[in-house]
Amino acid sequence: MIKNMARSLAALSLVLTPLALPASAQAAPAASAAAQTFPLSHAISQIPVADESRAGYTRDKFRHWNTGLDPADGCNTRAEVLLAEATEAPTVAAGCKVGEGEWLSYYDEQEVTDPAKLDIDHMVPLAEAWDSGASAWHAKRREAYANDQDAATSLVAVTARTNRQKADQDPATWMPPAPGATCRYLAEWTATKLRWGLTADQGEIDAINVYAGGPCETTVVHYTPAP
């Protein structure tokens, strides 16, 4: 219940409400554990622009799913996210086998009752993270990224169909099919890049700015830098 409430509050924080540019937005976000809040248009400007390289990438360089937030509960990260994001609590069998419950896949606004039809999506895909700076991280930091439940925006339960359509694409080439998901998705994408100190290529920045200056003009980005 507590996890559900935390994730619900995180989602609500992305509701389109007007926000004046804070005084702190005159400088780049500090590299500390302090929470940061910016309008999307300003937040995107805080991401360094750099060319991307996939040289050396393999998915197994990001260890997932690990034992999750609570190693004693017998659930891996995938199962913990399913439990946290369920809108109706699922059954849980021995070995933390998650059964039927109810989830809302916000990418396509589909209600799902069978967890086998859900993927846990990395908001910024592992390959995209590698391209954007994670190639220089040590293995433990990449594992922390791949299992990040300390930010509600990093991992999201969505239909397997939409996750696989997205694959490793950024907002320049893929957006959620549900029109109502656009601004939330861009805010969560931007928050994840800022949280982990990742870069973006120019096409990605340009694509987000199209929305940040239009339909997502009042969207707010909240994030806390990763340890």
Tens digit of each residue's pLDDT (9 = 90 or more) over 121-148: 999 999 999 999 999 999 999 999 999 9
pLDDT at position 95 is 94
Q: How confident is the model at residue 197 (pLDDT cuts 50, 70, 90)?
A: very high
Token pair of 70 as six digits: 């609570």
Q: Dihedral of the CA atoms 15, 21, 22, 25 (nearest 10)?
A: 110
54/2 Cα distance (integer angstroms): 38
pTM of the predicted model as reported, rounded to 2 decimal places: 0.85
pLDDT at position 23 is 35
Mean pLDDT, residues 180-193: 98
Task: Give the torsion sign (CA, 36, 19, 200, 174).
Answer: positive
User: Is it the case that residue 28 has pLDDT exceeding 80?
Assistant: no
Tell me the CA distances in angstroms from 163 to 124, 159, 205, one per residue in order: 11, 6, 21
Which range (5-14, 111-120, 185-194, 199-208) has the least confidence? 5-14
Which range (21-35, 100-114, 200-214) has the least confidence? 21-35
Give, rounded to a whole angstrom, the gap between the first and last alpha carbons of the chain: 26
38/106 Cα distance (integer angstroms): 23
Burial class (CB in 10 A: 0-12, 13-18, 19+), 17: exposed
For the chain, the 3-state helix, strand and coil shares in percent, each to the nearest 5, are: 40, 15, 45
Burial class (CB in 10 A: 0-12, 13-18, 19+), 112: buried
Give the single-character DSSP code of 145.
H
pLDDT at position 16 is 36
pLDDT at position 42 is 98
pLDDT at position 1 is 43
Residue 5 phi, psi dihedral angles, 5° rounding: -65, -40
| Residues 6+ positions from 49 with CB-CB distance below 8 Å | 199, 200, 201, 202, 205
Q: How confident is the model at residue 6 (pLDDT cuts 50, 70, 90)?
A: very low
> What does pLDDT average to over the chain?
89
Token pair of 43 as six digits: 């937040």
208/41 Cα distance (integer angstroms): 9
Mean pLDDT, residues 147-172: 98
pLDDT at position 107 is 98
pLDDT at position 115 is 98
